Amino acid sequence: MNDYNRLLLENKSWSQERLEQDPEYFNKLARVQTPKFLWIGCADSRVPPNEITGTKPGEIFIHRNVANLVINTDLNMLSALQYAVEVLKVEHVIVCGHYGCGGVKAAMSNDSFGLINKWLRNIKDIYRLHRDDVNAIKSEEDRVNKLVEFNVIEQLQNLSKTTIIQKSWKRRQSPELHGWVFGLNDGLIKELINIKPGAEIDPIYRYDHFEDED
């Protein structure tokens, strides 16, 4: 059997099991989505958001990219963020990195990987800010993991710099921002940083009023 055929067969049995447990399952699912969480995570296949948080379809709105970056010109991320915050009105935005992240590791090397260099450049900039702290660590694995943590913290701060988040904080005192790291070795999530709605941010990134179109 082809690998991709296995996925389609598994899908049939998954659908069947749902219906056996609850004949109304898909009627309910199709009606509306009211997730409380937006998840911005790494595209890594070993970090499936619903599975590691014990959540079901409909509970988490998900955006994933290489190394869970929040880049202020990324229309894909910004569109997901705007929809989640302004339309779905999520109460929590989670940036979840993971130890042993290949994107972070690649960014710490001097190897060229083609187009993705441009994406990983953002992580090199974070390394430059924390070079002394990272380089003080002996093992390479731990150095990567330290930068994984710095990266999550930086991306969470990037969220607070967006007008989408600042506007929502002002108008409905939500969402709260959470920076997490997932451990591939133990399957546990570590909480690194929380930013409450309305928190003080570096003043240069603060917008005092908003235009309609932003």
Q: Any bridge partners for residue 62, and if so which?
A: 39
Sheet holding 37-42, edge to edge: 60-65, 37-42, 92-98, 176-182, 189-195
Q: Which is nearer to Co ion, 42 or 177 (CB)?
A: 42
Active-site annotation holds for 96: no
Active-site annotation holds for 44: yes
- Least CB distance to Co ion at residue 107 (A): 11
Determine which one of 42, 96, 143, 178 is catalytic.
42
At 90, is the secondary structure helix, strand, or coil? coil
Active-site annotation holds for 42: yes
Determine which one of 63, 96, 101, 143 is catalytic.
101
Phi, psi angle pair for 95, to nearest 5° = -100, 120
Q: Write the CB contacts of 195 (distance below 8 Å, at least 6 apart in sequence).
A: 156, 157, 159, 160, 176, 177, 178
Phi, psi angle pair for 166, to nearest 5° = -65, -40
Can residue 101 be called a binding residue for Co ion (CB under 5 A)? yes
* Distance, CA of 2 to CA of 120 (rounded, Å): 34
* Distance, CA of 151 to CA of 112 (rounded, Å): 20
- Least CB distance to Co ion at residue 70 (A): 14
Q: Which is nearer to Co ion, 74 or 91 (CB)?
A: 74
Determine which one of 63, 96, 98, 178 is catalytic.
98
Of 94-102, 155-163, 196-204, 206-214, which segment contacts Co ion by CB under 5 A?
Answer: 94-102
CA contacts within 13 A on the Cβ side of 175 = 28
Determine which one of 46, 131, 171, 172 is catalytic.
46
Pattern 28-57, Co ion, x by CB under 5 A: --------------x-x-------------
Of 31-39, 98-106, 116-124, 154-162, which segment contacts Co ion by CB under 5 A?
Answer: 98-106
Q: Which is nearer to Co ion, 35 or 97 (CB)?
A: 97
- Least CB distance to Co ion at residue 64 (A): 9
144 touches 127 (CB < 8 A) = no
- Least CB distance to Co ion at residue 113 (A): 14
- Strands 92-98, 60-65: pairing is unpaired
- Least CB distance to Co ion at residue 109 (A): 15
Tokens of 127: 């390394």
Catalytic residue set: 42, 44, 46, 98, 101
Q: Which residues bind Co ion (CB under 5 A)?
A: 42, 44, 101, 103
